[in-house]
């Protein structure tokens, strides 16, 4: 049976568990918890396609094992000193989902909607718009992938924000932004309309299965499976900051 470190290398390309979590060896517990939260969301078995569930489950188990090590003082010290991961006590491997659910609070549709209300029009959104504009050299398709909640309805508002940045010399003027071909814009709008229909259909399906207002995080992820990947990952950073600190808030 492959060791945890063998599985780390197989699924994440490294045997260094700090590298997998993208934290330093001096990382605090809160940083480790946020990293685990964010990474585990990306490979959560309920978020991937049916034919990817088996591998996603194994990746999820590896992350849970890593978290169990980095959140335990003795296990972490042993790893830091000798690079050893003990696999004999594999309770995290058999109870990985229960452990994950214990550490992280469910997120409701209200939570996500409330975050949108705070985010849209904020300095945080403005910074994200600027960063996406510069990295994509004005490509609106790229911006819509990177800026959380950005959709067709937001394009006129975001165009005004970018134009003000251009006017002030804060960012350069890109032809890709100001002279976007009509065909390209039409394709993006058509794609978003299709995704919206798929998301609504999925939401109705899930709605039949739930009676309570609160729904599990897994369902939230499923509802948003058709959303743009980069924008969703950016949103994970924000949600991780808020919901990945249960121990600190309790």
Break the chain into its structural domains and give their ranges. 4-89, 109-180
Q: Around Cβ 50, how many Cβ atoms within 10 Å?
A: 6
Q: Check residue 111 and give its pLDDT.
A: 66
Q: Around Cβ 185, how many Cβ atoms within 10 Å?
A: 14
Which residues of the chain are under the pLDDT cut of 70? Answer: 47, 88-112, 199, 202-250
- Lookup: tokens for 71: 């959140």
Q: Is the pTM of this model over 0.85?
A: no
Q: What angle is formed at CA 92 by the lines to CA 55 and CA 3, rounded to 5 degrees?
A: 60
Q: Check residue 165 and give its pLDDT.
A: 97
Q: Check residue 225 and give its pLDDT.
A: 45
Q: Check residue 39 and give its pLDDT.
A: 86
Q: Check residue 1 and give its pLDDT.
A: 75
Q: Check residue 194 and give its pLDDT.
A: 85
Question: In angstroms, rounded to a whole number, what is the distance separating the alpha carbons of residues 2 and 15?
Answer: 13
Q: Which CATH architecture has domain 4-89?
A: Orthogonal Bundle (1.10)
Q: Check residue 146 and give its pLDDT.
A: 84
Question: In angstroms, rounded to a whole number, what is the distance separating the alpha carbons of residues 77 and 32?
Answer: 15
* pLDDT tens digits, one per residue of 219-237: 454 445 444 545 555 666 6
Please give the full DSSP string across 97-149, using - where no structure is assigned.
HHHHHHHS----HHHHHHHHHHHTTSHHHHHHHHHHHHHTTT-HHHHHHHSTT
- Structure letter (DSSP) for residue 15: S
Q: Check residue 235 and give its pLDDT.
A: 63
């Amino acid at each position: 049976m492959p060791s945890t470190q063998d599985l780390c290398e197989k699924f994440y390309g490294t045997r260094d568990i700090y590298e997998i979590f993208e934290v330093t060896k001096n990382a605090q517990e809160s940083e480790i918890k946020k990293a685990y939260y964010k990474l585990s969301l990306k490979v959560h078995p309920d978020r991937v396609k049916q034919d990817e569930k088996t591998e996603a489950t194994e990746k999820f188990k590896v992350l849970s094992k890593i978290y169990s090590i980095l959140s335990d003082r003795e296990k972490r010290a042993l790893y830091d000193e000798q690079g050893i991961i003990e696999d004999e006590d594999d309770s995290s491997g058999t109870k990985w989902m229960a452990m994950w659910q214990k550490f992280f609070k469910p997120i409701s549709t209200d939570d996500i909607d409330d975050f949108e209300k705070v985010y849209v029009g904020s300095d945080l959104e403005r910074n994200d718009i600027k960063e996406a504009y510069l990295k994509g050299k004005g490509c609106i398709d790229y911006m819509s992938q990177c800026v959380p909640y950005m959709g067709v309805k937001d394009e006129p508002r975001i165009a005004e924000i970018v134009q003000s940045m251009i006017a002030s010399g804060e960012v350069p003027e890109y032809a890709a932004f100001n002279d976007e071909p009509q065909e390209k814009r039409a394709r993006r709008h058509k794609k978003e309309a299709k995704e919206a229909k798929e998301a609504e259909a999925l939401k109705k399906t899930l709605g039949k299965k739930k009676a309570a207002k609160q729904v599990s995080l897994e369902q939230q992820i499923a509802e948003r499976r058709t959303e743009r990947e980069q924008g969703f990952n950016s949103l994970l950073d924000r949600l991780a900051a808020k919901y990945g600190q249960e121990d600190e808030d309790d």
